[in-house]
Each structure stands twice: as C-alpha cells, then as structure tokens.
C-alpha cells in the first residue's frame, strides 16, 4: 500500500501520540509498505523533507503545552502525494496537520482512517482556562462525532475511548487497537549499578534509598499535585526516612509543582529531574522501586507499559482504561484514595525480593498483547477494509 500519515507531533517530540505514530510508521515500513509522514516543523520557516518525512513549518505555542501550529496546506506535499498514488490517508491529529490530511484525502479521493488518540475533554482547560468550558466540551464531542462519520474507518486505542464514543452518540463500527510498542529497549536494558549510584549521589539521594518514580508530562491532567499530596501522606503514615520521590519529565506547570512540594514541606524528599531523551528513559525507569500515577486521562498509558517492561511494580489510580492491563494485586496495584495509596505503597516497599519478582514476572507475561506484530496485523485489516469502501 501507499500510505500517508498525518500527525501534528512526531519524534523527536516526546509524547504518547508521537510514540504511537512513530511505531506505526516503523512497523508499516518493516512490512514493505510505502509510508509518508506529514508532520510539523518548528525548526525553520521552510518545508523540510527527511526521506519519507515531510515537516511543514509552524510555530510553537508555549502556553498550549508546546503545541506546534503549522499551516494546513502545502502544494509541494500535495503534488508529491499525488505522484505517489496514495491509497490511504491515516489522520492521527485534529489540528493544523490533521486538517491538512482531510484536504489531501478529499483531493486524492482515497480511503481515510482516523485514530482518536486523545480524550480532548480532559484538555479543554488549556484553551479555555476554565472559562466557557462547557461549551468547549460540547464542541469537542460534536467535532468527534462529525469526524467519525467522515472517515472510512475509525480506530481508538482502548475500550475506554470506545465507551466514550458510544456515550456521545457515535454508532459506527469502532476498531479498538492498542498502540504497538517496541519494549525491547526496556526489557533488554542492563543497569550499571555504579552509574545508578553516581546519579543518585548527584541528586543527593543515598544509594540504599527506596525510590518512588513518576515519568511523564508535568501537566494538569496528570494530577501531579495529588501525587505529591499522597506522598506527603505516605511519609507521615510510614515514618520512613529512606524513601524519595523522583519525577522525570517536564511541562508547563513544573514550577507550580515544585512550589507545591515546598509548601507541603517535602522538597527534601522530592526531586524534579526535568526532560530526558527517550532513549535514556530505560535508565530512569531503573531508578525506581515503584512507578506511580494519579492520572485518569490516559487513553492507553504507554508509560505504564514501559514501566512494566522495566520490571517495576505499578501503583496507579484506578481507571477503567487500565483494567485490561492491570489485575489488581497480581501484576500491579490500583488505589482509590490517599489511604489506599499509603497502605499499598508501604506494602510494596516491604516486599521480599521473591515476592517482588513474582509480581514483576506476572506483569511481563501480560505485555504480550501489546507487541508490534499484533498491532500491525490489526491495523492492516482496518486499512484493507477502508480501501475496499472506496473501490
């Protein structure tokens, strides 16, 4: 097939959609398809072509979580795609580049697939700052319904997204396809204990400490303040002096969260590492004994999969979206409130090596369904169905 993928985000940007689109591009290429990615370019004011990847000029909106707003049309890209006789357009975003994808699809009269990656209702505050938020959420629902009717095939990454689609009145067939992820870099990572101890020393943490880890965006929807509150409660609950909380990642609210930790009086026990390279993330996962999250806005939770592949036990806020991934008490743990967080975190940190390894083993066993080959086979079926609809 000749496939054009449209996305407003793509590596080197680090986020869930970027990772998902990157994995899609990679696995399609590995199976012999001709694949072209059209994405944004924050680097120059000119269209860039890097092999099969076209970057359309755009500007970075710092107040909107670094989103890159690009122009929604390029005659050069359209001309190129026409020459390639594109069979299918796969749209993975809804802003400037996503709209460009719909324009191309209409001009080329080819098949269309749309993936709804993001629960936008959880993000409307970035645009509204709390004002007219009800209208913004209505607009998001109405937009999703319209786009779903427009595409030939609809993909969502989880049953949580499917349930949401049904609740807002989308009746067409919905393909649930969890994003495939290459976990080998996490599964095969070999930790240099001396490097770990040196790093902990550099951030003023004793080598024999217990580490609670968060890795991801420092943004409103991730409920970082709640995690800090829970960690403060845990310190009071456990009376332990050997436990530290490391947060890896960056975002628009980092300074706010650093101040919150200070206001709670736990700055001496909390370390904000900042943004790290994706290829270095296995090392940062290796620092932790427990991976924690308070987010209920995930459509799939790729960092959860990475943490499990890194042989870390998950302690995360209970969410329907994670019920397929986590069996509570078997391969990870859910909590509902601060009391449960404190109780279960204390329990995990006191596990014997044998019991800790048993939970990790169960987690690794459960990762098989998220492999890249499974992902590819499901996407291929959807692509074929879409193409048949326009024959």
DSSP secondary structure of 298-343:
-SS-HHHHHHHHTT-EEEEE--GGGTTT--BTTTBEEESSHHHHHH
Residue 3: CB atoms within 10 A of its CB come to 24
pTM (2 d.p.): 0.76
Q: Are 303 and 213 in contact (CB under 8 A)?
A: no
**Phi, psi (rounded to 5 degrees) for 88:** -155, 140
Both 257 and 135 in a single domain? no
At 246, list the tokens.
């490391």
Residue-level pLDDT at 141: 84
**Per-residue pLDDT tens digits for 183-199:** 889 999 999 999 999 99
Counted domains in the chain: 2
Residue 293 CA to residue 224 CA, distance in Å, equals 8
Q: By residue range, what is the domain housing residue 156?
A: 2-180+371-390
Q: Report whether pLDDT(123) > 60.
A: no
Of 81-95, 117-131, 146-160, 235-249, where does mean pLDDT reach its minimum?
A: 117-131
pLDDT classification of 60: cutoffs 50, 70, 90:
low
Both 162 and 211 in a single domain? no
Q: Report whether pLDDT(68) > 90.
A: no
CATH of the domain at 9: 3.40.50.2000
pLDDT classification of 140: cutoffs 50, 70, 90:
confident
Both 221 and 169 in a single domain? no
Q: Report whether pLDDT(300) > 70.
A: no
Range 225-245 average pLDDT? 97
Both 175 and 315 in a single domain? no
Residue-level pLDDT at 219: 86
Q: Report whether pLDDT(36) > 60.
A: yes
Residue-level pLDDT at 229: 98
- Of 183, 251, 193, whose CA–CA distance to 222 is shortest? 251
Residue-level pLDDT at 133: 66
């Amino acid at each position: 097939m000749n496939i054009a993928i449209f996305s407003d985000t793509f590596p080197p940007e680090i986020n869930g959609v970027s990772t998902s689109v990157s994995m899609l591009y990679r696995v399609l290429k590995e199976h012999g398809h001709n694949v072209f990615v059209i994405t944004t370019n924050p680097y120059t004011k000119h269209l860039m072509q890097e092999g099969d990847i076209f970057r359309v000029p755009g500007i970075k909106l710092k107040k909107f979580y670094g989103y890159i707003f690009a122009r929604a049309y390029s005659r050069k890209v359209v001309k190129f795609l026409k020459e390639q006789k594109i069979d299918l357009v796969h749209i993975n975003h809804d802003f400037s580049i996503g709209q460009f994808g719909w324009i191309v699809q209409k001009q080329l009269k080819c098949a269309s697939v749309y993936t709804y990656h993001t629960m936008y209702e959880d993000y409307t505050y970035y645009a509204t700052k709390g004002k007219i938020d009800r209208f913004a959420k209505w607009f998001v629902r109405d937009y999703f319904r319209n786009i779903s009717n427009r595409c030939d095939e609809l993909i969502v990454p989880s049953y949580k997204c499917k349930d949401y689609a049904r609740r807002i009145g989308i009746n067409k067939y919905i393909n649930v396809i969890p994003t495939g992820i290459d976990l080998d870099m996490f599964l095969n990572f070999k930790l240099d204990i001396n490097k770990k101890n040196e790093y902990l020393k550099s951030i003023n943490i004793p080598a024999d400490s217990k580490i609670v880890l968060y890795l991801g965006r420092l943004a409103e929807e991730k409920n970082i303040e709640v995690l800090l509150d829970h960690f403060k409660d845990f310190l009071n609950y456990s009376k332990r002096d050997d436990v530290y909380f490391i947060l890896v990642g960056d975002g628009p609210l980092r300074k706010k969260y650093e101040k919150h930790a200070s206001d709670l009086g736990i700055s001496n026990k909390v370390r904000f590492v900042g943004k790290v390279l994706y290829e270095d993330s296995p090392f940062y996962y290796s620092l932790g004994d427990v991976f924690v999250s308070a987010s209920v806005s995930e459509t799939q939770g790729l960092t959860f999969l990475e943490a499990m592949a890194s042989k870390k036990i998950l302690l995360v806020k209970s969410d329907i979206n994670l019920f397929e991934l986590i069996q509570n008490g078997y391969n990870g743990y859910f909590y509902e409130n601060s009391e449960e967080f404190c109780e279960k975190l204390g329990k995990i940190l006191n596990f014997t090596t044998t019991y800790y390894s048993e939970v990790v083993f169960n987690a690794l066993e459960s990762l098989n369904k998220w492999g890249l080959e499974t992902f590819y086979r499901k996407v291929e079926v959807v692509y074929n169905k879409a193409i048949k609809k326009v024959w």
